[in-house]
Structure 1
Amino acid sequence: MDMHHERLGAGRPLLLIHGLGSTRRTWDPVLDGLAAHREVIALDLPGFGATPPLEGEVTVARLADAVSGFIDVHGLTGVDLLGSSVGARLVLELARRGVGGTAVALSPGGFWTPRQRRLFGASIGASVRLVRTLQPVLPALTRNPVTRTALLAQLSPRPWALDEGLVLRELRAWASSPGYDALLRALVHGPDQDGATRLRTPGDVVIGWGRQDRVVTPGQAERALQRFPDAELHWFDSCGHFPMWDRPAETVELVLSRTSGTG
């Protein structure tokens, strides 16, 4: 299937894949910085943004199939990949399959213990139920730094500093995305992420992790490196689950330097 997407900039292509509940707009804090050096393609995954859901069961494997098909349809063989959260897991899965070029995965899921997986499902499930209940008053809540901090404490160590428009778009997408619940079930009940060595991936693998990530906790990085032993691990200080929100300049620098992004 094709997917709704936005293309900006010029140069070697870079494909951006968002996380659970988000849309291509989650990349807004880093989009201009990346597009100044690369052709950036930011897509909406099936069931999110303007892309219709998959028919039938939703799994990480089927989403990876969809992204792989998008790459083929648009002539993007060898494209560098940047993903966040579930999108980061998809980036690693594509690299494991031999799809794409350099893979940069920010806060990937799929490396938890059974207990961490259960806590993830319970906490994220409760959060999205609350956000859906609060939809009528979300504009006022996200406008106020105090209530914005309360809403996003799980996601960022400095929610009060985040752009209120970005926060409102994200929380509305959480509540309205038709693919949200099915993908959450797939993450909670599906398999962990398989790994690969450098000899099995088409390019370098870089994994970025926020030291204050409360969604996929920093201890999971060790298991990620066990499964991708040749990957480079980059730590973001003063950063939660979304480095492109909390550390946008550092995220741009990391991505461009590791993907040779000046040309």
Structure 2
Amino acid sequence: MVTAELPDGDSRDAAPYTFTHDGSTLVVEEQGEGPVAYVLVHGIGMGRSVFADLAVRLRESGQVIALDLPGYGEAPEPPRTPTIERMADLVAAFLRHRGLDRAHGRVVLLGHSMGSQVATEVATRHPMLVWRLVLCAPTINIAERSAVRQLGRLAQDLWGESPIVLVRGAREYLRAGPNLRRKMRAMLAHRPEESYSRIVAPTLVIRGEGDPVSPHDWCRFVVEEIPDAHLVELSGHGHETMIKDAAAAAARIVAFARA
């Protein structure tokens, strides 16, 4: 069963609306217009608000659609914590319902951190929906697949970060609620390395040079596994580069979409 509260008419900066499929709900926010649709999927403990700076920069070259995954941001907590694969199927159902696929437009699907795992599964399970794929700070590094190591790396990344990153991050983690441990388990159970070789969309992998969560060797492995992919590393950035200053990433993403 699908229910949706879609924006009226051709409004390109409509109020956020909801999309529900198979018992789980997305909150969707759209802005801008153009031939390219940038669909943004956030990481664990986050929500669409972390893409605020990136969305403003991307809307200059296309439509921007930012999502709150179930139980994150303003999206309600589902009855059961969904797997990465189920979240990917939910995103795919939304894209189809919205009329966004390779036959009707150019969808650039972008996932940050855990969102890269969701985006990977959309690209492999529903390849006709994704025209270009962007994996920002992809997780999970197979050499450190445990909650303790992941949380330790995240703490290392946040040490000395700007107040805006810490405040926004803390707010979103509080919104994620008491089921964050189960959400972490779902993230850790997923094996993105088993899906990379099946991605057919051209792929851009982005990491901050100072990112301890998504280290260089892991991102190089990701690129080598995907048939058509290349890696960009941004100096002066870590894992949360989408929150603090998205200018460098946005420029690379727009250039990738225009290639």
Length-normalised TM-score, structure 2? 0.79
Q: Pick from 50, 55, 74 the counterpart of residue 26 of structure 1.
A: 50
- Does residue 101 in structure 1 map to residue 100 in structure 2? no
Counterpart residue number, 2:73: 49
- Does residue 171 in structure 1 map to residue 170 in structure 2? yes
Q: Tell me the distance in 1 between the aligned counterparts of 2:242 and 2:175.
A: 23
Q: How far apart are residue 13 of structure 1 and its match?
A: 1.4
Counterpart residue number, 2:188: 188
Q: Pick from 44, 56, 63 the counterpart of residue 39 of structure 1.
A: 63
Q: Tell me the distance in 2 between the aligned counterparts of 1:224 and 1:174.
A: 27
Q: How far apart are residue 221 of structure 1 and its match?
A: 1.3
Unaligned runs of 5+ in 1: 128-151
Q: Tell me the distance in 1 between the aligned counterparts of 2:159 and 2:251.
A: 21
The Cα offsets for residues 102-154 of structure 1, whole Å up to 9 and x where unpaired, read as 011101113412xx112xx1145579xxxxxxxxxxxxxxxxxxxxxxxx862
Q: How far apart are residue 43 of structure 1 and its match?
A: 0.8
Counterpart residue number, 1:259: 257
Higher RCO structure, 1 or 2 (CA under 8 Å, sep 6+): 1
Counterpart residue number, 2:117: 89
Which amino acid in the other structure matches residue 59 of structure 2? A
- Does residue 159 in structure 1 map to residue 161 in structure 2? yes
| Higher percent of residues as strand | 2
Q: Tell me the distance in 1 between the aligned counterparts of 2:234 and 2:109.
A: 19
SS at match of 2:124: helix
Q: Tell me the distance in 2 between the aligned counterparts of 1:95 and 1:156.
A: 30
Q: Tell me the distance in 1 between the aligned counterparts of 2:141 and 2:224.
A: 10
Q: How far apart are residue 239 of structure 1 and its match?
A: 1.5
Q: Tell me the distance in 2 between the aligned counterparts of 1:177 and 1:196.
A: 28
Q: Tell me the distance in 2 between the aligned counterparts of 1:180 and 1:101.
A: 32
| Higher percent of residues as helix | 1
**Retained in 2: the 8 A contact 1:16–1:40?**
yes
**Retained in 2: the 8 A contact 1:111–1:224?**
no
Q: Tell me the distance in 2 between the aligned counterparts of 1:165 and 1:88.
A: 23
Segments ≥4 residues shifted beyond 6 Å: none
Q: Tell me the distance in 1 between the aligned counterparts of 2:252 and 2:75.
A: 29
Counterpart residue number, 1:8: 31
Counterpart residue number, 1:122: 148
The Cα offsets for residues 202-235 of structure 1, whole Å up to 9 and x where unpaired, read as x311111122111222221132123214211111
**Retained in 2: the 8 A contact 1:89–1:108?**
yes
Unaligned runs of 5+ in 2: 1-20
Q: Kindly tell me: are residues 192 and 77 of structure 1, through their superposed partners in 2, closer, same or farther at Cα, counting changes over 3 Å? A: closer
Aligned residues: 228
- Does residue 241 in structure 1 map to residue 239 in structure 2? yes
